[in-house]
Amino acid sequence: MAMWVFDDLVEGLFLVLLFLFLRLHFLLGLSMLSRKKHAVLVLHRTRSLDVWFHSTRTAAGCWSGTLIFIGVSEPDHRGAPAGCAADGRDGERCQCGRKLASHEFSTKSLREFVMRILEEEVEGRLLPLLESAMEKNEVLDLQDVLRRFAFETVCKVSLGVDPCCLDLSRPVPPLVRAFDRASEICAMRGMAPVYAVWKMKRAFNVGSERKLKESVQLVHSSVREIIQNKKRKLEEDRAEGDGGDLLTSLLSAGHGEEVVRDMVISFIMAGRDTTSAAMTWLFWLLSQHPPIESAIVAHVDSLYRNPLDFETLKEMNFVKACLCESMRLYPPVVWDSKHAAADDTLPDGTALREGDRVTYFPYGMGRMEHLWGKDRFEFRPDRWLEEPEADGGGPLKAVSPYKFPVFQAGPRVCLGKEMAFIQMKYVVASILRRFEIRPAGSNRPVFVPLLTAHMAGGFKVVVRKRSGGNEP
């Protein structure tokens, strides 16, 4: 108890010092900005302050008009729980991990395994849970349910283990809580205008940094135990070693335990909250736009086969258009950063020095008029279709990933992008054919940007049987 009180006192002192420091730099920044002729402001001499700018030039290159900020800070991922296979980091080890992951994601066996897991999870657990809530007239936190579903699915695909998260009568597993806590603290690190604060807390092992360290240790020890159990199983019975999950494939290929650990943790971090956040906001948006909801249901009905297969899901273009439009307005990852490995110059002429951090904001970019038009604040899935058809279908437009960077772009594009769309299409199509999802209250949800964005307080809904809905 004394240690927790001490942590709170130390954090309180840090906050007071932080306020005074920010006030000083804010006044300094205003003074400097008043002497600038351009909207771009880059500070190279101050390692404690990241500076926002909005490039208004129209020079060639994808950066033109993109909401970015530049600051000087060394990349420091120590303490983060994830590896670097599925996200967009560089470095020799990360590039090696991405090569391994890229090979695994391209295999037909993994695709078939994912489809089998989705059928088990959706038909066997998710839909019965919604059916039960409907019959009992219970209010359900759909955000929590989808997060549990996503974590359970990604654990089965990545680790070959079942955490049983969709059993709401059971407490949330400690591994889930550890991931949540580590993600939140890492996000606060990224937003900290004064890096010295969290680095001091890490050096003294107090406050949020001590909690982060404990959470990462729990994640690593839990995943290490799963890996060791899997290795023993593979050694005991090689004839049954091919379980289909990523962990089995990586271990069978002879990769080292630490590399495998970082890769599977990276997969879990990349897939556990991003898909659930996208689906949560989509269900809310559909509840506010009944004509679009009717169109997506008609589209799904026109293509539906039982059970859903990979090829059918690929044809659901209007479902994908709705998901893209939802992620344009409410991107699961609100901002992302890259560090300059060497001196460079952006296409609009902005100079970068080695160590500069460049951060782009998909949330802001999704609301820019010159990118999306005057109706940029409206939910219009048809903006993603070449020629919308009567049932809502039609070929999808080719949209530059630099305009819609939700899955990053170029050599750092998300390796699980297509798998994520398949999972989200499966869930959305299955739920909408059977149920109507309606908010339990009338308040507009609040968008909370952390490492992965979410709705403040969850998404409380009532579940109703869709008129003319199909049985599972």
**Residues contributing to the annotated binding site for heme:** 414
**How long a stretch of residues is the chain?**
472
Report the run of H or E that residue 371 belongs to, with start and end: helix 369-372
Tell me how far apart the alpha carbons of residues 164 and 149 are, in angstroms, rounded to a whole number.
9
Report the run of H or E that residue 437 belongs to, with start and end: strand 435-439
Helix (H, G, I), strand (E, B) or coil at 30: helix
Burial class of 298 by CB neighbour count within 10 A (0 to 12, 13 to 18, 19+): middle
Burial class of 315 by CB neighbour count within 10 A (0 to 12, 13 to 18, 19+): middle
Tell me how far apart the alpha carbons of residues 17 and 385 are, in angstroms, rounded to a whole number.
52
Residues contacting residue 78 through CB under 8 Å, at least 6 positions apart? none
The phi and psi torsions of 140 (rounded to 5 degrees) equal -120, 140
331 has which bridge partners?
none
Both tokens of 224, joined, read 């290490």
Give the residue numbers of the binding site. 414
Radius of gyration of the chain (CA): 23
How large is the greatest C-alpha to C-alpha distance in the chain, in angstroms?
72
- The identity of residue 352, as a single letter, is L
Q: Are strands 460-465 and 139-141 parallel, antiparallel or unpaired?
A: antiparallel
The beta-carbon contacts of 211-218 under 8 Å, at least 24 apart in sequence, are: 211/181, 211/185, 212/79, 212/181, 212/182, 212/185, 212/186, 213/79, 215/81, 215/177, 215/178, 215/179, 215/181, 215/182, 215/185, 216/79, 216/80, 216/81, 216/178, 216/182, 218/174, 218/175, 218/178
Tell me how far apart the alpha carbons of residues 8 and 20 are, in angstroms, rounded to a whole number.
19
Per 3-state DSSP, the chain is made up of helix, strand and coil in percentages (nearest 5) of 55, 10, 35
Asked if 434 and 472 count as a contact pair (C-beta separation under 8 A), the reply is yes
The phi and psi torsions of 223 (rounded to 5 degrees) equal -70, -35
